[in-house]
Structure 1
Amino acid sequence: MHFVTLIVGIWLLPKANTLKCYECIPGTTGTCTDQAKECTSSDNRCAAMTLLTYTVGDSKPREIKAKMCTQAEGCVRGSVNFGSDKTVTVTECCASDLCNTKHVSEPKSIPNGKKCYSCEGQQCTRTLNCEGDQEYCIETITNLGGEIQTLKGCASKMVCDENGSASFETFIGQRSSCCQGDYCNSASSASAGLSLLLVSLLCLVLLI
């Protein structure tokens, strides 16, 4: 009898250690409804994510909010700004049942004094004022619709770190480099493009 009780207790232990979190994955309308869901792993955390994309000419940013269970590496906060387009993602995590009740608020975008080069047309000589936690200049080469393109701008430390860059790989490309110091991402000719990468970034974040 004690042996059976022990086996049942061991079987129930992983379930007892898993969190229950709110899940809210937006559909085509961009809205969703909270539903309680038990996470699949004891390593999961409850998370609330906000993804903001800014494009020059838009009256306001495109905003996507979601809630989910995620691994610790999915608890990311970072931004990358290429001048004509900017993306900010903030994922706040917590470790108690149904603790992700609130959506993440939009972070403030305040110039921090750092300056990097960005591209305009075929030239990458335009000054870009970095904002918030964007302490690095970035240069990346990406394949957009079969065309190899270079993008330059500002990025946060999380985007430039080895672990963080893996999360942003679909967005910033596989051949990216960061540096510290004003205008350290040297000026040169290039073509710029970004908007078609935003859907890929959203899918990557939601699947972490």
Structure 2
Amino acid sequence: MLFLTLIAGIVLLPKADTLRCYECVLGGSGTCTDTEKQCSAGQQCAALKVTSYAGDKKVADVNGKTCGLAEECFEASINYGITKTVLTSKCCASDLCNTQPAPEPSKSTPNGKKCFTCDGRQCTATLNCQGNEDHCISTTVTTGGKKMTVKGCASNIVCSSIQTAQMLGGVGAETSCCQGDFCNSASSTSGLAGLLLLVAPLMSLVLFS
């Protein structure tokens, strides 16, 4: 009897240690259909939102649900002045608790940090960073066989996580970050085509690993 109890405990323990969460898969129409997913040990249920702006106008709002680690739930942004993309995510720790979408991005105000940004062909304009944007960033994208550079402000998690940078529009781009006002040198030139690539709505989303 004791042996059977131990076997049952071994079989059931992995299930008891993991959560069932909703996973939202984006369809071709842009709608999201919830399915259930068994998470790995240590993961929680998560809801994710990627919001892109052109100036003050929202141009893309993509939602997703999946399993993720608690430390993967945060708010972060990349701000290039003319464009800004914000990632918000929320975790919870009970079965199928991620029924609601992630919250809207919080209203950001200038934090005193200043970085170079690009205006037309020059990268000499000043951008006032907002919220938790505590790094300056330079991103090089390739369009039409030519490399274009854009500059601005970014949150620390964007600079420390390649996956987060990809979710915020840095796929296939060369990106570097630094700390200190105007540390992203103004010597490089930019092109409007590069900026437009960063404005384009997100049609797919890389969820938590």
Specify the TM-score bucket, using the shorter chain as the normaliser. 0.7 to 0.9
Cα separation, 1, equivalents of 2:150 and 2:57? 23
Decide whether the 8 Å contact of 2:54 with 2:83 is kept in 1: yes
CA deviations over 1:53-79 (Å, ceiling 9, x no partner): 1124x8433111222122446434311
What's the RMSD between the two structures over aligned residues? 2.7
Q: Quick one: which of 102, 105, 112 aligns to 1:104?
A: 102
Output the TM-score relative to the length of structure 2.
0.81
How many angstroms does 1:199 deviate by?
6.7
The answer for the alignment partner of 1:158 in structure 2 is 157
Decide whether the 8 Å contact of 2:66 with 2:208 is kept in 1: no
Give the letter aligned to residue 168 of structure 1.
Answer: A
- Residue 46 in 1 paired to residue 48 in 2? no
CA deviations over 1:6-36 (Å, ceiling 9, x no partner): 223212211121112223233233332444x
The answer for the alignment partner of 2:28 in structure 1 is 28
The answer for the alignment partner of 1:168 in structure 2 is 165
Count matched residues.
203
Q: What SS is found at the alignment partner of 1:18?
A: coil
Give the letter aligned to residue 14 of structure 1.
Answer: P
The answer for the alignment partner of 1:6 in structure 2 is 6
Cα separation, 1, equivalents of 2:203 and 2:142? 14
- Residue 16 in 1 paired to residue 13 in 2? no
Decide whether the 8 Å contact of 1:142 with 1:174 is kept in 2: yes
Q: How does 1:1-208 map to 2 (within 5 A)?
A: 1-35=1-35, 37-56=36-55, 59-72=57-70, 74-106=72-104, 107-144=106-143, 146-161=145-160, 164-169=161-166, 171-172=169-170, 175-192=174-191, 193-196=194-197, 202-204=204-206, 206=207, 208=209
How many angstroms does 1:145 deviate by?
5.5
* Percent identity of paired positions between Structure 1 and Structure 2: 50
Unaligned runs of 5+ in 2: none
How many angstroms does 1:176 deviate by?
2.6
Decide whether aligned partners of structure 1 residues 6 and 38 sit closer, same or farther in structure 2, where only a CA change above 3 A counts.
Answer: farther
Output the TM-score relative to the length of structure 1.
0.81
Cα separation, 2, equivalents of 1:137 and 1:6? 56
Decide whether aligned partners of structure 1 residues 15 and 195 sit closer, same or farther in structure 2, where only a CA change above 3 A counts.
Answer: farther
Cα separation, 1, equivalents of 2:173 and 2:203? 13
Decide whether aligned partners of structure 1 residues 55 and 24 sit closer, same or farther in structure 2, where only a CA change above 3 A counts.
Answer: same
Cα separation, 1, equivalents of 2:16 and 2:142? 45
Decide whether the 8 Å contact of 2:51 with 2:58 is kept in 1: no
Decide whether aligned partners of structure 1 residues 61 and 132 sit closer, same or farther in structure 2, where only a CA change above 3 A counts.
Answer: farther
Unaligned runs of 5+ in 1: none
How many angstroms does 1:105 deviate by?
2.0
Q: What SS is found at the alignment partner of 2:10?
A: helix
